[in-house]
């Protein structure tokens, strides 16, 4: 490596310099298993949290409108999402710093400020959609959102301000594992598994051919699977957890397993959507879809889908709010670690709590312009995604910064291909949202 190495400043965590706490084991495989388990977390969380309320809506709508026809797109997104997040893993482990700090330091104030403002804005708007989903699901469960939404917001703040990274991570990993209920839901829909397997590996065109609606939905699926906040979140999370160079392979495995879980859960959501369509229901939103499915699969499945919708929104909210708080803390130079008690990182926790509370409050305002906010999320996400990924790719090719951890030529071929596709798709998405009449309907 050509760069200068310095001891990591232990300003925020008291570390006993002379001794470390460790578990002694006698076998190598047990050592590997336990090491993986202590490293495991950020990869799973970033991937499962990506299946947030917006994703539940997009995937179930795709299933409701096109059956199993778009499953192959979800399968294709597995390597795309893994390769992008793997770059973040390397960058986080090598630098021990967050993504926002990296952009500021390597590209200057203008790009740093642009990335930060864009991230904070799109994150906040996304948070509003998360709470809107909680509101919708609670309504269908017969719970008053005026009670349920503030309670959810308070719980989200409490799990974060405990002053323990490990406590936060364990709670969130538990919530991520609840997402496995989507497998049960899909199983109870009794799809033709042979057809599901075929649609997952063989690209097929839905009846009706390429239409503006189909194009929009495909872009929405891609956009919801690879989101800008994920880059900022996972790098900051890795820096906060203080992952070491030796942890790289386990962090990669964590990310890969997370990608597998999220993509399979996404396919399950599509299967649920397809089942509601098969029974003659028209898709309006995932909460209504749960009610429709409940009419033929029973109240247990209905409530399970509604709970999974709330779980998705809760996971999305904690991850997105944290990516905002970490990014802001890094740029401001504030202490910004979940290991710190509230009294030592007031600014960091305040930003987190403000994001959660403001988004929850906005949803409870009668006649809030939620549709305009959803539109804003789509446009801004379309703008920020390519720029965020270009910065990531440039940083990963920065040999001065990363030395041996920089991208290899094959990494660049794969990543530039993904970037060009994402760039083109997000350009179409933003253009379609900004000026829908530019695109005629083709059928």
Partner 1 sequence: MATMLLNKMELEELRNDHRWVVIHPLDDAPETKVDTAALGPMKMTLSVRLSLMSLRAYLILMLLLVFYRVFCQAGFFGLHV
Among 34, 205, 413, 420, binds partner 1 (CB under 8 A): 34
- Are the C-beta atoms of 65 and 373 separated by less than 8 Å? no
Tell me which of 6, 201, 202, 365 binds partner 1, using CB under 8 A. 6
Residue nearer to partner 1 on the CB measure, 345 or 433? 433
Q: Which is nearer to partner 1, 424 or 442 (CB)?
A: 424
Q: How far apart are the first and last CA of the chain?
A: 55
Minimum separation from the CB atom of position 279 to partner 1 (A): 35
- Of the pair 51, 339, the CB lying nearest partner 1 is at 339
CB closer to partner 1, 231 vs 271: 231
Of how many residues is the chain composed? 443
289: which residues sit within 8 A by CB, 6+ positions away?
A: 60, 64, 272, 273, 276, 281, 283, 305
Q: Cα(137)–Cα(303) distance, rounded to whole angstroms?
A: 9
Calculate the CA 53 to chain-centre distance: 10
Where do we find the tokens 């299967």?
Answer: 271
CB of 24 or CB of 202, closer to partner 1: 24
Should residue 435 be labelled a site residue for partner 1 when binding is judged by CB under 8 A?
Answer: yes
With contacts defined by CB under 8 A, name the span among 107-115, 139-147, 255-263, 279-287 that binds partner 1: 107-115
Stretch that binds partner 1, among 30-38, 62-70, 270-278, 299-307 (CB under 8 A): 30-38
Please report the sign of the dihedral spanned by the C-alpha atoms of residue 419, residue 424, residue 426, residue 427: positive
Write out the binding residues for partner 1, residues 330-369 only, by CB under 8 A.
339
Q: Are 48 and 260 in contact (CB under 8 A)?
A: no
97 makes contact with partner 1 (CB under 8 A):
yes
Answer yes or no whether residue 439 interacts with partner 1 by CB under 8 A.
Answer: no
**Based on CB atoms, which residue is closest to partner 1, 194 or 437?**
437
Kindly identify the residues of this chain, within the stretch 61-90, that bind partner 1 according to CB under 8 A.
Answer: none
Q: Residue 29 CB, nearest distance to partner 1 (Å)?
A: 10
Q: Of the ranges 10-18, 54-62, 317-325, 341-349, which one interacts with partner 1 (CB under 8 A)?
A: 10-18
Nearer to partner 1, 22 or 142 (CB): 22
Supply 223's token pair. 């956009």
One residue of 379, 418, 422, 425 binding partner 1 per CB under 8 A: 379
- The interface with partner 1 within residues 405-424 (CB under 8 A) comprises 423
Q: Identify which of 131, 70, 409 has the alpha carbon closest to the alpha carbon of residue 267.
A: 70
The single residue among 179, 265, 386, 407 that binds partner 1, judged by CB under 8 A, is 386
Pick from 218, 401, 418, 425 the residue near partner 1 by CB under 8 A. Answer: 401
DSSP assignment, residue 246? G
389 to each of 162, 183, 268, 313, how far by Cα in Å?
32, 31, 28, 24
Of residues 239-278, which lie at the interface with partner 1 (CB under 8 A)?
241-245, 247
Among 177, 195, 421, 434, binds partner 1 (CB under 8 A): 434
Long-range contacts of 145-151 (CB under 8 A, 24+ apart): 145/363, 145/364, 146/364, 149/360, 149/363, 149/364, 150/360, 150/364
Residues 152-171 contacting partner 1, CB under 8 A: 165-166
Whole-number Å distance between alpha carbons of 126 and 132: 10
d(CA 28, CA 374): 50
The residue count for binding partner 1 (CB under 8 A) is: 71
Sign of CA dihedral 317, 320, 326, 331: negative
């Amino acid at each position: 490596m050509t760069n200068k190495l310095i001891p990591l400043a232990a300003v925020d965590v008291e570390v006993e310099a002379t001794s470390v706490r460790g578990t002694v084991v006698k076998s190598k495989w047990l050592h590997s298993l336990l090491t993986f388990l202590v490293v495991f977390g950020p990869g799973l969380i970033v991937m499962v949290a990506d299946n947030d309320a917006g994703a539940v809506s997009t995937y179930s709508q795709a299933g409701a409108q096109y059956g199993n026809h778009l499953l192959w797109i979800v399968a294709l997104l597995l390597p795309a999402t893994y390769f992008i997040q793997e770059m973040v893993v390397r960058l986080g482990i090598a630098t021990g710093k967050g993504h926002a700090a990296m952009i500021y330091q390597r590209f200057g104030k203008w790009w740093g400020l642009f990335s930060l403002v864009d991230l904070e804005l799109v994150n906040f708007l996304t948070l509003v959609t998360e709470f809107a989903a909680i509101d919708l699901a609670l309504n269908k469960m017969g719970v008053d959102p005026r009670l349920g939404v503030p309670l959810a917001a308070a719980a989200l703040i409490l799990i974060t301000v405990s002053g323990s990274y490990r406590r936060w991570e364990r709670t969130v990993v538990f919530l991520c594992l609840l997402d496995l209920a989507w497998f049960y839901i899909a199983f109870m829909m009794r799809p033709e598994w042979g057809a599901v397997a075929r649609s997952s590996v063989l690209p097929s065109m839905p009846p009706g051919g390429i239409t503006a609606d189909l194009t929009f939905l495909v872009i929405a699926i891609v956009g919801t699977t690879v989101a800008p906040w994920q880059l900022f979140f996972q790098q900051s999370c890795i820096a906060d957890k203080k992952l070491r160079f030796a942890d790289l392979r386990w962090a990669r495995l964590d990310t890969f397993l997370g990608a597998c879980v999220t993509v399979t859960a996404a396919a399950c959501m599509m299967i649920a959507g397809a089942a509601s369509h098969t029974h003659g229901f028209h898709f309006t939103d995932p909460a209504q879809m749960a009610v429709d499915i409940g009419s033929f699969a029973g109240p247990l499945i209905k409530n399970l889908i509604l709970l999974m919708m709330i779980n998705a929104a809760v996971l999305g909210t904690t991850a997105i709010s944290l990516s905002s708080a970490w990014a802001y803390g890094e740029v401001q130079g504030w202490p910004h670690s979940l290991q710190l008690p509230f009294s030592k990182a007031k600014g960091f926790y305040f930003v987190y709590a403000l994001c959660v509370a403001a988004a929850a409050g906005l949803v409870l305002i009668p006649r809030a312009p939620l549709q305009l906010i959803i539109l804003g999320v789509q446009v801004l996400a379309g703008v920020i995604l390519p720029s965020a990924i270009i910065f990531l790719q440039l940083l990963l090719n920065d040999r001065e910064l990363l030395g041996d951890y920089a991208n290899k030529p094959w990494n660049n071929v794969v990543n530039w291909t993904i970037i060009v596709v994402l760039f083109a798709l997000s350009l179409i998405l933003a253009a379609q949202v900004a000026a829908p009449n530019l695109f005629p309907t083709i059928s």
